[in-house]
Structure formats: structure tokens, C-alpha cells
Amino acid sequence: MSMPVMFGIISAACVVFTIINAIDKFEHPLKKSIFGILSGFAGLAAVNILSPWTGVSIVVSVMSVLAAALGGIPGVTLLLAINAFF
């Protein structure tokens, strides 16, 4: 995956999360959005780093990065569930 695509995904996810958090009237919508995106990326990285010991891995593609960015930790959990069943 190229760097401009990754930057575009991160930027789009940040904008979407900020708008959603601003509509919900959170005190710091941008900070909350960035934390959600980073936690999703950290979860995706943790799954792939621990894959030699757990035997579970998620292929890093545009769709998995987008799911991790938009869904955060629940998005990564959903990717693991889909990986387990299909």
C-alpha cells in the first residue's frame, strides 16, 4: 500500500470521526477521533506482531486498515471474527 493511500485513509477517518464527535457534542472531538483511529491501528499492529505466538494474523490491506481506522478496537475484533469464520 502506498503512502498517499494510507495518508488519505487516515485523513478521511479523522474527518469522519471528528464530525461524528462534534455532532454528539463531545468536549474534544478531534482528540477523541485521533485516539480512536490510533487505537485501531495499534490493535491491528498488535495482532500482527503477536501472530507467531497466537497463530492468528490479519492481512494488511486497504480494507483492513480502513476497518481498523473507522472501527477502532471493535473493528479489529470484527476482522478477527471474520477471519475465524471465513
**Where does the pLDDT of residue 32 fall: very low under 50, low under 70, confident under 90, or very high at 90 and above?**
confident
Number of helices (H), then strands (E), belonging to the chain: the values are 4, 0
* C-alpha cell at position 18: 471528528
Q: How many domains does the chain have?
A: 1
**Where does the pLDDT of residue 42 fall: very low under 50, low under 70, confident under 90, or very high at 90 and above?**
very high
pTM: 0.71
Domain encompassing residue 75: 3-85
Count of residues in the chain: 86
Q: Where are the alpha helices (DSSP H) in 24-61?
A: 29-49, 51-54
